[in-house]
Chain A
Amino acid sequence: MTPVQISELLKSKFQSDVLYTVEFGGQVSVTVNKANILVIMKFLKASPELDFDYLVDLCGADYMGRKNDRFEVVYNLRSISHNHCIRIKAVVPENDCKIASVVGIWAGADWHERECFDMFGISFAGHPDLRRILMPEDWEGHPLRKDYPLKSDLGEAEWKGYKEVVETAERNKQYEVR
């Protein structure tokens, strides 16, 4: 099936959940409500004419300018047997920053969801082990949010522990080979 046909099928099947579809470069993204995400995903995987057995990619995206639906969770799906693909996007508002986990449907979603949680702070309900994955456990903030600074907001100021490092370096100078 072509991506447009798949999106039409989704539209007819889940009328109230599909918000809008966008086509670009031969690919179609279907934006849906997060409430029924599990039902939609299960339908996409289980129905034999779609057979989306392979979750290619799962990532978050931050659209800070929007009012109520700041985040998006993007699912890129592919069917290996039918060789077709579709992109599902679920909108996640900032004040209710959680969505159901799809680990039960595609086991490979495990680390993708952990990364999305780490980078955007979107929590996935039902995930077996939702921890930070790329950043250290005690990290504050979520780096890929658009309001997260690229450089340290300390500016010229010294970071915590800087003084101790300099002192140790000074002290160790006596052991240097001259």
Chain B
Amino acid sequence: MLKKKELSINMGPQHPATHGVLRLVLDLDGETVVKCTPHVGYLHRGTEKLGENRTYPMALPLTDRLDYVSSMSNNIGYCLAVERLLGIEAPPRAKYIRTIMAELTRIANHIVWIATHALDIGAMTVFLYGMRDREWILDLYEMVCGARLTVTYPRIGGVRCDVDNEFMDSCYKFAEDFPKRVLEYETLIDQNRIWLQRTVGIGVISAKEAVNWGLTGPTLRGSGVAYDVRRAVPYDAYDQVEFDIPVGKNCDVYDRYRCRMEEFRQSVRIIKQCLDKMPEGLVLSPDAPAYDMPLGKPRVMPGHPMGEILPGEEEEPKKEPFDELYSAVEVPKGELGFYFVNDGTAKPYRMHIRAPSFVHASVLPKLSEGSLVADVIANIGTIDIVLGECDR
């Protein structure tokens, strides 16, 4: 007599298709996944604890390291949260620059996503095309701040330095050129038979369930819920530009892919409008805090964004209730939120990061259980996680 037994296998933490150090324990019955248990935390660096022991401007570079594929958006989310907390308003020009940067980041992130997702499923060429096009965006980053990956370009109260005409020209050329590249990706995979078989009807999650699980971003919009933080709580220049929110209707991997492809076009549209409407003026608010930031007497950084670094005086925390604020932005992966409790000193009393990847990784068992092993790969791709952000 043959005995039937479930097979338990480890996928990851070192596995090319897990997009980082995600470990899944899969209990298999033949080819079918009976149980999927994700294990995260391999990249935990204690960002929240570190943030609580630094002044607000000093904790900014930590946010680059959350989602290293779209560091610019993380910086913007952090700066915006601190601005709302301390009552600083960024100048209009800075808002437009940040909107352009956020959308460039969205394109760069979705390129990395489509490249790796297609590679996982078996389409090699998209990866090479994608990496070619991402290079242009990284060059644009380099033009404004000298860094390509961990940029720390936005500042609390604006951005670090102004953009020049060379950047604007190159950025406009990119916006003109990029829709053609999107067509190239679509030619490769949109109607590809293997692609369709691997994605249509896979990883289905209904709209109600997706909201209940707390999914955000294209992962949620693929299920037909038009929730976008840029529309729900507009920030920066998003209330002054026109854009559509693409939604899917079949709630599967393919519809989420379609959503992201449409977002490419919407991002290009936003970038063009921002470049056209770009106002003149300051790029850093005069109220922007210096690094050591004694909040009692805010020191103005005259001209130079780096300011002087002098030892700050420790301020006495004020009496409760403390100021608290939750502020969210739409990063390429979903809703990135920062929850701050401010006790009146220069350091946050509590800093919590609501990372979209963390929530999306938790839904993996829901998507994968009952499907085939090969579909787990498609599911990991479609929720678009980066473990640096998931583990914080």
* Chain A residues closer than 8 Å to B89, beta-carbon distance: none
A57–B212 touching, CB < 8 Å: no
Q: Is the CB of A106 within 8 A of B212?
A: yes
B85 in contact with A59 (CB, 8 Å): no
Which chain B positions have C-beta within 8 A of A111?
Answer: 358-359, 361-362
Interface centre among B48, B208, B324, B341 (most CB of A within 10 A): B324
- Our pick among A108, A133, A150 for the contact of B49 (Cβ within 8 Å) is A150
Known: A80-B225, A133-B41, A136-B41. A108 touches B232 (CB 8 A): no
Asked whether A144 is an interface residue with its Cβ less than 8 Å from the other chain, the reply is yes
Contact call A59/B339, Cβ cutoff below 8 A: yes
With A25-B323, A107-B209 in contact, is A56–B337 under 8 Å at CB?
yes
B238 adjacent to chain A (CB < 8 Å): no
Q: How far is the CB of B48 from chain A (nearest CB, A)?
A: 6
**B391 in contact with A24 (CB, 8 Å):** no
Q: Is the CB of B41 within 8 A of A24?
A: no
Interface residues of A in 11-26 (CB under 8 A from B): 20, 22, 24-25
Residues of B within 8 A of A29 (CB): 324
Which one of B46, B349, B359 lies within 8 Å of A143 (CB-CB)?
A: B46
Instruction: List chain B residues, Cβ under 8 A from A74.
Output: 339, 352
Would you call B337 and A134 a contact (CB within 8 A)? no
Q: Establish whether residues A56 and B214, one from each chain, have CB atoms under 8 Å apart when the complex forms.
A: yes
The answer to whether A61 and B323 touch across the interface, beta carbons within 8 angstroms, is: no
Contact between A107 and B212, CB atoms less than 8 A apart: yes
A61 touching B321, Cβ below 8 Å: no
A22 near B326 (CB under 8 angstroms)?
A: no
Is B67's beta carbon under 8 Å from chain A?
no
Q: How many residues of A contact B (CB 8 A)?
A: 39
Are A56 and B354 interface neighbours, CB within 8 A? yes
Q: Is B335 an interface residue (CB 8 A)?
A: yes
Indicate whether B213 reaches chain A with its CB closer than 8 angstroms.
yes
> Within the complex, what minimum Cβ distance (angstroms) separates B207 from chain A?
10
Residue of A nearest to B354 (CB): A57
How close is B62's CB to chain A, nearest CB, in angstroms? 14
- What residues of chain A lie closer than 8 Å to B118, measured between beta carbons? none
Closest to A29 in B: B324
A76 to B340, CA, bound (A): 12
A68 at the interface (CB under 8 A from B): no
Contact with B214, one of A54, A85, A115, A132 (Cβ below 8 angstroms):
A54
A108 contacts B213, C-beta separation under 8 Å: yes
Q: Are B339 and A76 in contact, CB atoms less than 8 angstroms apart?
A: yes
Chain B residue numbers with a CB within 8 Å of A53 are: 208, 211-212
Contact in complex: A56, B335 (CB < 8 Å): yes
Interface presence of B325 (CB below 8 A): yes
CB of B53 within 8 A of CB of A107, answer no
Q: Contact between A110 and B362 (Cβ–Cβ < 8 Å)?
A: yes
Contact A76 B337 (CB under 8 A): yes
A-B contact count (CB 8 A): 100
List residues of chain A with CB within 8 A of the CB of B391: 134
Q: Is the interface of B mostly helix, strand, loop or mixed?
A: mixed
Q: Which of B336-392 contact A (CB under 8 A)?
A: 337, 339, 341, 349-350, 352, 354, 358-359, 361-363, 366, 391-392
Asked if B227 is at the interface (CB within 8 A of a chain A CB), the reply is yes
A92 to B232, CA, bound (A): 32
B328 at the interface (CB under 8 A from A): yes
Asked if B84 is at the interface (CB within 8 A of a chain A CB), the reply is yes
C-alpha spacing A45/B362, complex, angstroms: 21
Is A9 in contact with chain B by the CB < 8 A criterion?
no
Contact B40 A134 (CB under 8 A): yes
A34 within 8 A of B: no
A168 nearest CB across to chain B (Å): 22
Cβ-based interface call for B318 (8 A) = no
A100 at the interface (CB under 8 A from B): no
Instruction: Knowing A53-B211, A56-B354, say if A76 contacts B41 (CB, 8 Å).
Output: no
What 1/0 mask marks residues of chain B from 302 to 342 whose CB sits below 8 Å from any chain A CB? 00000000000000000011011110100000010101010
A24-B323, A61-B349, A109-B214 known; 16 new pairs, CB 8 Å cut-off, are A25-B85, A29-B324, A53-B208, A53-B212, A55-B214, A56-B335, A57-B337, A80-B211, A106-B214, A108-B212, A108-B215, A108-B359, A111-B361, A133-B40, A143-B46, A150-B49
Residues of chain B at the chain A interface (Cβ within 8 Å): 40-41, 44, 46, 48-50, 53, 84-85, 208-209, 211-215, 225, 227, 232, 320-321, 323-326, 328, 335, 337, 339, 341, 349-350, 352, 354, 358-359, 361-363, 366, 391-392
A selection of 13 A-B contacts at a CB cut-off of 8 Å is: A27-B324, A56-B354, A57-B339, A59-B339, A62-B350, A63-B320, A76-B339, A106-B213, A108-B212, A108-B363, A111-B361, A133-B40, A143-B46
Please give me the 4 A-B residue pairs with the lowest Cβ-Cβ distance, nearest first. Answer: A108-B214, A111-B362, A134-B41, A57-B354
